[in-house]
Structure 1
Amino acid sequence: MTGIRSYRIVLPPPWVRVPLGPEARDRVHDIVERAATQAPKEMSPDQLGPLKRELERRMLSQLASAAERGGLDHYFPLGPMHGIHLGASFFVAAVTPPGGTAELSPDDLAGGVLTQLVATTPGSTAVEIAGTVWVRTEGVMPPDPDRAGGVDAPVRRVSYLTAVPDDPRQWVLVSFSTLGDGDPESEHTLLTVELFDAIMSTWRWATGPDGWD
């Protein structure tokens, strides 16, 4: 499923966006090279080289995992935020609508299917962002040694799911994951989730013939 309606969000630095597609590898390489310019001056090329390659490997692994799930764009912080390492990322994906919703009107969708999802999905609530109703789901995933990036630790995950306005045949999933400080219930980790919720509150759909008013 491709070609969802355009959107935009406000990203605080040092968050960056990588569109998933043929140019993703080059984009990752450019980001790693830019990050390397912030390395301590006393670090030699022999020391910096392996770190750059490992960072690029981890980023490409995350992108591949997101692409397998229909990912369109991947977002992550390029370094610490206010001196704190977030250990977080999120992706935007086009997903298949829940069964039987393709012919529903937007009103039926918001009033029926989304309500049912909230009622039947643990950890879910209805959230309105700029006139669009989303299903927000939050939970903790247990450690998984096969997880992309090779980090065997619990992950707090938050997702937002909705249909594209005026086109219930197209659905969008925004999926956020964070290791936080290793404790999914800690203040550090929960503040990272609050940051993601704040980013999502800036979500806006394209409007007008040129994509944006």
Structure 2
Amino acid sequence: MVHAAGASVVTAAARAVSDFRILLPPGWARVPLDGRAPLRIKNLVTERVRDLPAPRRAELRPWLARELTAAVAAAARHGGIDVLLSVDPVAGRPVPASGLITHVRGRGDGTLESLLRTLGSGGEGVRVRELGVVEVAGARAVRRLTSRQEKVPDEDGGPGAVLTVTQVDFFVPVPGSDGLLLLTFSTPVEQLGPPLVKLFDVMGGSLRWVSS
């Protein structure tokens, strides 16, 4: 079963489109990055741990609240309007995967070909594995699959581990405007990359505009 999540993308130049919807897999949650985010996180944590035994609930509640708060704070710093989080464990273990939706103004008025040229370089430390044009919401969009390595220090400030982050980006022109809706999905676990990329493609391809 999948669930539809929606959010507003309202600008003076895009009044024809007031909303979009994207399908969420079971175990995923959407947190709009507005003034109610802290309350949404609190309610989400309560809902997710409600049916657990008391000792496990007491152990999991603060961890989940801390992880969700950190993810939402990071998404807000990057100008996101929605964060999508995998919050339910699979086989007793959390699935480290997330999505960020950002509205980028003034970047969708060029051709997809020019966008492809810009995105092809990837950037420092970023390996572009796939780049091309796909169909999203009945129109052409750009999809990019990249990987990069990130150093994560341990709790004692030591060198820690090096993680390989797999990321799928969808650059979707917003109808009636010069903006883009950027959908970014990622996982920091290299072994989970291939199956999660398939899931990310389904999620990104499910986006639909809702007319006002």
Per the TM superposition, whether the score is higher than 0.5 is yes
- Out of 114, 117, 120, the position equivalent to 1:116 is 114
For 1:28, the equivalent position in structure 2 comes to 41
How far apart in 1 are the matches of 2:119 and 2:41?
35
What TM-score do you get using the length of structure 1 for normalisation?
Answer: 0.76
Q: Distance in 1 between matches of 2:147 and 2:40?
A: 31
Match of 1:165 among 164, 171, 175: 175
Runs of at least 5 residues in structure 1 that lack an aligned partner in the other structure? none
- Alignment of 1:135 onto 2:142: yes
CA contact (8 A) 1:94 1:172 kept: yes
User: Counterparts of 2:182 and 2:103 in 1: how far apart (Å)?
Assistant: 6
1:49 counterpart = 2:58: yes
1:25 & 1:198 partners in 2: Cα distance? Answer: 29
* Contact 1:17-1:76 at 8 Å conserved across structures: yes
Give the share of equivalent positions with the same residue, in percent.
28
Structure 2: unaligned runs, 5 residues or longer: 1-8, 12-17, 121-127, 154-159
TM-score, scaled relative to structure 2: 0.76
| SS of equivalent to 1:206 | strand
Which of 72, 94, 98 pairs up with 2:81? 72
Partner residue of 2:68 out of 59, 63, 86: 59
DSSP-derived class of the 2:172 partner? strand
1:131 and 1:48, CA in 2 relative to 1: closer, same or farther beyond 3 A?
Answer: closer
Indicate the RMSD between aligned Cα atoms, in angstroms.
Answer: 2.4
Higher strand share: 2
Spell out the pairing of 1:96-115 with structure 2 (5 A cutoff).
Answer: 96-98=105-107, 104=109, 109=110, 112=111, 114-115=112-113
Shift of 1:175: 0.9
- Number of matched pairs: 183
Give the Cα separation in 2 of the matches to 1:138 and 1:86.
Answer: 19
Cα 1:201/1:82, change in 2 over 3 Å? farther
